[in-house]
Amino acid sequence: MKIGNLVFVSCLGFSIWCLGFAGPAAAGTVDISGRAGIYTPSVPNSSPSLMYGVGANVGITDHLSLRGAVDTTAYTANNVNYTYMPITLDLIYHQTFAGMITPYVGAGVSYNSMTTGNVNTQTAGCQAETGITFALGGFNAGFEVRYLVPDSSKLDKGSVSMNGYMTGSFAQSFKF
């Protein structure tokens, strides 16, 4: 088994354990957010592109949450059109200060769909992120930097995404 696949399976197993065992014991909320940012492809001769999507964050404990997100971006390199769509699941550790500033770090697994020209491929990948969220009255705003590896068998072929996001004013929280 390749080391990238081992990392993917380990992260996926831990995420499922958190949902199955820690989730029911720790009541939380589900926050839905809109996301937009700049994606820097690893393809030579490509330019940064707009990446946008939606995310949902589920509180597990006071300091741990699971976040799922679907993003998409399109760009051109060497006269070839690319479309990239990662579907991610991340375990996030966060700490809130002064009731309004929440820095966080996280890592997770992804299912990735990449269209290059007319050829579509699907791969398993992984990512890591760090960011900060600010509570601003009735909504939250945040900024994060993610390192995305679309194919876990090629850990040296990652890309950077810088995202801003908002929750609250156009989002709904659910108690469970």
Give tens-digit pLDDT for 57-100. Answer: 888 998 999 999 999 999 999 999 999 999 999 999 999 999 89
CA distances from 175 to 9, 10, 87, 115 (A): 30, 29, 24, 38
Would you say 108 and 86 are in contact if contact means Cβ atoms under 8 Å apart?
Answer: no
| pLDDT on residue 176 | 64
Cβ–Cβ contacts within 10 Å for residue 117, how many?
Answer: 9
At 8, list the tokens. 């993917």
Secondary structure class of 156 (helix, strand, coil): coil
Could you tell me the CA-to-CA distances from 141 to 82, 107, 138, 164 in Å, in that order? 30, 20, 10, 7
- CATH code that applies to domain 3-170: 2.40.160.20
Residue 50 CA to chain centroid, in angstroms?
15
Give per-10-residue mean pLDDT for the chain (176 aa). Answer: 42 42 49 87 89 90 93 94 96 93 96 94 94 84 90 80 66 56
Measured at the alpha carbon of residue 117, what is the angle toward residues 153 and 144, in degrees to the nearest 5?
Answer: 55
pTM for the whole structure: 0.76
